[in-house]
Amino acid sequence: MDMATHCRRVLVTGCTGHLGSWLVLRLLEQGYVVRASVIDPEDKQDLHPLLGLPPFLTTERLEIVKADLRVVGDYDNIVKGCEGVFHLACPTNFIVEDPQKDVIDPAVQGTLNVLNACIKSSSVKRVVHVSSAAAIRFSGKDVAEQVFDESCWTDVDFCMDKKPPGWPYFVAKTLAERAAVDFAKNHNLDVVVVNPGIVNGPFLNSFIPNSVKDCLALITGEVFKLPFLMRMSYVHTDDIARAFLFLYEKAEASGRYICSSVDASISEVVHILSSRHPEFQIPTDLAYLGEPIIHYFDSSRLKKLGFQYKYTLEDMFDDAIRCCMDKGLLENMGTKPLQAQ
């Protein structure tokens, strides 16, 4: 008898990315049938994270299907037969001529295309929409000791006016989430939103994912990223994947959930890396960066629902570095002193 007939089928968009591929792995391990949507099923390089998964997990329960978020109706047939959808896909290339056309509009329209397909299907029970702490944090207000919770939203007008580094992503995530929330309300669709902090830890990709690369800027020498790390909210790759699955399966889950386990300053990260990884030459004189604006992300709503984080900030950096080293992605980094700029 076909094993798949006894399993729950879910769709994952953005399945070849850092979070998406790790989520696919965890879903398969939990016995789900996973339908993974990609633009080009023949692109072996893009599919690398999925093709490297153990065959005993993928042979009967991983379905790779072709779908393009930018094409209206492309997900209508893909969603049929799925009881749930994890929507992670979002443009992440910010070096574009037209951020509105190339990043923001595709993120919003892609989300609406997926959600429209869900209401056309009689099978979808819940959608987990993956937003970001970037849809919460950037209010334009430099308030000391600010605490961010699920009531906070990024100010889109501020971002589009001041254009801080990464602003197309902040705006895309904010507007896509607002579109998802409004759509769910208007169509009585069960949509749960997750707002992760910066994701640090292991990965299945053959390259260092953007978020991990940002976290490891003190090692890789990308000193232009250091101001961004002055104060950051972190979550481990596996904790966020477990949170997605937890919120999908928890009947009481509703609304928006911040998922961030640790808030840390760059000086705390310097201490961790210097003490635990002396093989790298970590810059310690960062006074030129100034003092960080202290803020915290309140993840208590998720924890009150019963979710427990497993990993510390030390675990995140240890696991990220180990994964990079195993893949040969940090070769010779320890021999290159970093210079403040």
Task: Provide the phi-psi class of 71: left if phi over 0, else alpha when psi is between -120 and 50, else beta.
Answer: beta
SS3 (DSSP) at 150: coil
Residues 6+ apart with CB under 8 A from 173: 90, 107, 131, 132, 134, 135, 154
Catalytic status, residue 141 = no
Residue tagged 């037209």 (tokens): 98
The active-site residue, picked from 44, 162, 173, 250, is 173
Dist CA 106 CA 89 (whole Å): 10
Which H or E run contains 297? strand 295-297
Dist CA 260 CA 240 (whole Å): 8
**Contact, 190 vs 121, CB < 8 A?**
no
**Contact, 22 vs 204, CB < 8 A?**
yes
Q: Compute CA distances 142 → 74, 145, 244, whole Å.
A: 42, 9, 31
Distance, C-alpha 184 to centroid of its chain: 21
Catalytic residues: 173
